[in-house]
Amino acid sequence: MNYLDELNEIQRAAVENTDGPTLIIAGPGSGKTRVLTYRIAHLLKKDVDSFSILALTFTNKASEAMRLRIEKIAGTNARSLYMGTFHSVFARILRLEAPKIGYPSNFTIYDTEDSKSLMKTIVKEQGLDDKIYKPGIIYNRISSAKNSLITPQMYAEDSDLLTEDRNAKRPALGTIYRLYCERCFKSGAMDFDDLLLNTHIILEKFPEVLHKYQHKFRYVLIDEFQDTNYLQYSIVKRIADVFQNITVVGDDAQSIYAFRGATIDNILNFEKDFPELKVFKLEQNYRSTQTIVKAANELIHRNKNQLKKEIWTQNDKGEEIKIARTPSDNEEGRWVADSIMELKMRDHFKNSEFAILYRTNAQSRAFEEALRRHNIAYKIYGGMSFYQRKEVKDLLAYMKLAMNHQDEEAMKRVINYPARGIGQTTLDKITIIAANENKSAWDVIENINTYDFTARTKTAIEEFVMMIKSFAALAASKNAHELAAHIGKTTRLVAELYNDKTVEGVSKYENVQELLNSIKEFVEEDVVQDDEVIVADKSLGTFLQNVTLLTGDEKDTQNLETVKLMTVHSAKGLEFPVVYVVGMEENLFPGAQSLYSLEDLEEERRLFYVAITRAEKRLFLTYASTRYKFGQLNYCDPSRFLQEIPENIVAHHGDHRKAKAPEMAKGLYRTISPPPVSKPSAELPPRNIEPFIADDANGLQTGMEVVHEKFGDGKVVSIEGSGANKIASIFFGQFGIKKIMLKFAKLKILSGGM
C-alpha cells in the first residue's frame, strides 16, 4: 500500500505540498508525528538530497523514532538527515565552525552540574556569600540572558538588568556572568545555552557561514514549534531565509513552557515573518471520545490569544466526564485509588492504562499512599517518589536522628546540611575513630572535645549535638507536627529552601511543606473507627514508623504494569485510556501566580487543555474542599476551569462514601465557584459550592443537630467526659452512631440543643 494512502485528506495535503513556508497546526491526537515523518519521507521520495534537509525536534527519543519511520518508507537515505534536537544539531555545526570564534573543534560541552560547579567556584573566589549567590539562581539568570541574546558586555551595559540585580541584593551577577564565560572559553567549553548562542553569533558575524548553511539546508522542518524560544527561532529563520522552505508543526493550544523561555508568539506571529504561508489544520482527533473532545474545544475557545480551530472526532461519544469533590486532599487520594480499583475489577482495565496528573510534584504524596494501601503498583513519571526526594529525606533524617541518635545514616546526611562547617574530611575522620574504638559515630561526636579536631570544628559539632538533643527533649511535650515544624525551623532547612527562588528551589520548598502538611493531617485526623474512639499516638516516632512501613523495601515493580503519576507538563505527548486530573482548585490549578495576568491565566488554561486531551476513554477531574498548606488547613474553591466544561457532558460525584446516602449528600454538597475571570456564557451558569467551615465544638450539647464533613447530617445523642477528653455520641443517618472526641471534631452546628 502507498504510504500516502494511510493519511486522511488534510494530512495528505500537508505532506504533498512540500515547498514554501508552511504551518501545520496539529490538534491533540491528530497524527502530528505521522504527518511530519511522512513529509520528510515524501521529500526523499522526490529525490531531495537528504543532506539538504534540516529537521529539529525537542527530544532525542522523538528524532530517533521519526528517523526509523522515515527509513522504512524512504530507505537508508534517512540516516544522512540533519535530524535531532536543537542542541545536538547546532553542536554538530559548531564542531566545524567554532574555531572562527576562538573555540577548538573538540570543545567540551558542560552539563548543568558542570556549569553550577564552576559558578560555585567563581562565587567562592570572589568572596561572595554563597547563600545569596546560589548556583541555581546564577544558572537561571545567565541562561535567560543567553537565550535573550544578551552577552556579558551587553548585560554590563543594561541599566534595567543591573537595577534588578541590585534590588535582589545580587549586584555581582553581571561580573559572575563575565567571569563564567571567560572561564568556559579558557577551558574550551560550552554549556547548553552556548550551543545556541554561539551558533547565532557565528551566523551573524560571518556572512559566508550563513550563506553556506542557507544554501545547504534547502528544507527546514521544526517539530513542537510552539515550544521554541526567541533564540531558537532567530537561528532557523535566518537559515531558511533564502529558499523559505520552512515547515513548522505545532499547536498553540499546547504551548505550556513559558517558564522555560518558550514563547507562544513564535507560532501566533509566524505568518508575519512569512506572508506567503500555507496553513494546514489537522483537526480530526483519533485519540479521544466525542465527549472529551467537546470539553477540550469549549475550554480552549475561551482563550483570546490563539489560532482558531475546531477539533472533531469520529470516535464513540463515550462516557460523561466525572467531576468528584472530596472533603480533603487525603480523601482525594483515597477516592482516586478506590476508583482505579473499581475500574480494574468491573471493566478489566490494567494498571498501565491509568494516569494521575497533577499541577505540582508535591501533590503526589496522597495518591502514592492511597495506591500503596490498595497494593496497586505505580511509577512516578519524570520524577521520583515523594518520600525519595532529597529535601523530604533531609527533613525526615533530622526527625529520625532526634528520635534515635544512633542512626548513623541520618547523622551523615544532615550533619552539614544546611552547611555548618563540618566537611567530608571531618566526617571521614569521625567514621575512622568510631571504627577504631568500636563506637558509634554519635558516641564520637557527643564527646568531640576528647578528640583532635580544630576548635572551630569542635564548636560546630557541639552545637549540632545540642540541637539534636533539644529536639529529643521536646518530643515528650510536643505532638508530631509541632516537633517537625520546630525541627524544620531550628535547623534552617525550611528557610534554606524558601530563600531559593529558582523553579527547582520553589518545588523543593513545596515538597517540604507537603511533608509538614502530611504530619499535620496525621495529628488532626479524626479518631473514629467502627463506632469506637481510638486514642491514637500522635507522636513523631509513630509518624516515622508509619512512613518507614509505607516507604520501606518493596518487591521489584519495575517490570509490572504500573499506574503512572506525573505533572501535566510531563504528560505532554502521552496518552492513556483513563486519566485523573487532580487538585482542580483555585490557586492550585490555575496556580495563584497566574491570576494577575491574562497571558499567564491563558497558559494555565492551555495546560489544563493538555491534561484533558491525554485521555482516550475516561476522564476524571477531582478536587478537595480542604487542603493543608504551610501547616494550615485551607478551604478550597473549585477551579474556574471546571465551570468552563459544558454541564450536559458532566456527572458530579461527592465524597464516594456519600453514595450510601444520596439525599444527605445532596444537602451537604452545595457548590460555590470563585469569581470568574470573564462573565460566563448563558449556557454555563456558575456552579455554587459552599465551603465547609467547622464550628467550635466545645459548646456542643445533647440534642444539637450538626453536619460532619464525612458523615453528613447528625444529631448529638450524648456527651461524656470532660475538658480535653470530651466525647460526643452522634447519630448520623445511615452511618449509625459515631463517637467523636470533641478536640478533633469537625462539625457545623445547625440548631440548638436541649
| Active-site residue list | 32-33, 223-224, 254, 614
Cell of residue 199, nine digits = 551558533
What's the grid cell of residue 286? 483519533
Helix (H) or strand (E) holding 246: strand 246-250
CA dist 96 and 94 (Å) reads 5
Relative to beta strand 563-567, strand 354-358 is parallel
Compute CA distances 596 → 146, 254, 257, 656, whole Å: 28, 21, 18, 35
Return all residues near 501 (Cβ < 8 A) that are at least 6 apart.
Answer: 137
Place of cell 466525542: 290
What are the residues whose beta carbons fall under 8 Å from the beta carbon of 312, sequence distance 6 or more?
283, 284, 285, 293
The per-residue DSSP string of 502-558 comes to SHHHHHHHHHHHHHHHHHHHHHHS--EETTEE------HHHHHHHHHHHHS-----T
Distances (CA, A) of 598 to 223, 255, 345, 605: 27, 15, 44, 10
CB 285 within 8 A of CB 28: yes
- Are residues 559 and 348 in contact, defined by beta-carbon separation less than 8 angstroms? no
Q: Which strand (E) or helix (H) includes residue 609?
A: helix 598-612
CA distance 584 to 636: 10
Written as one letter, the residue type at 593 is Q
Say if residues 252 and 307 touch (Cβ distance below 8 Å).
yes
Please state the three-class secondary structure of 160-202 as a single string: HHHHHHHHCCCCCHHHHHHHHHHHHHHCCEEEHHHHHHHHHHH
DSSP 87-155: HHHHHHHHHHHGGGGT--TT-EEE-HHHHHHHHHHHHHHTT--TTTS-HHHHHHHHHHHHHTT--HHHH
Q: Tell me if the bond preceding 418 is cis, omega within 30° of 0.
A: yes
Return the SS3 of 303: coil
What CA–CA distance (Å, rounded) separates 710 from 435? 55
Q: Which three cell numbers stand for residue 11?
A: 494530512
Bridge partners of 671, per DSSP, are 689
Residue 147 corresponds to which cell in the numbers above?
Answer: 537565550
* Structural contact between residues 457 and 421, judged by C-beta atoms closer than 8 angstroms: yes
What's the number of CA atoms in the CB half-sphere (13 Å) around residue 689? 29
Query: Given the C-alpha cell 526509523, which residue does it identify?
Result: 68
Residue with cell 518530643: 475
340 near 353, Cβ under 8 Å? Answer: no
User: Contact, 200 vs 149, CB < 8 A?
Assistant: yes
Q: How far apart are CA 243 and CA 234, in angstroms?
A: 16
> Which residues does 176 contact at the CB level (< 8 Å), separation at least 6?
119, 122, 123, 126, 128, 133, 138, 142
* Sole residue written with cell 480552549: 300
Distance, in Å, from the CA atom of 748 to the CA atom of 726, rounded to the nearest integer, reads 17
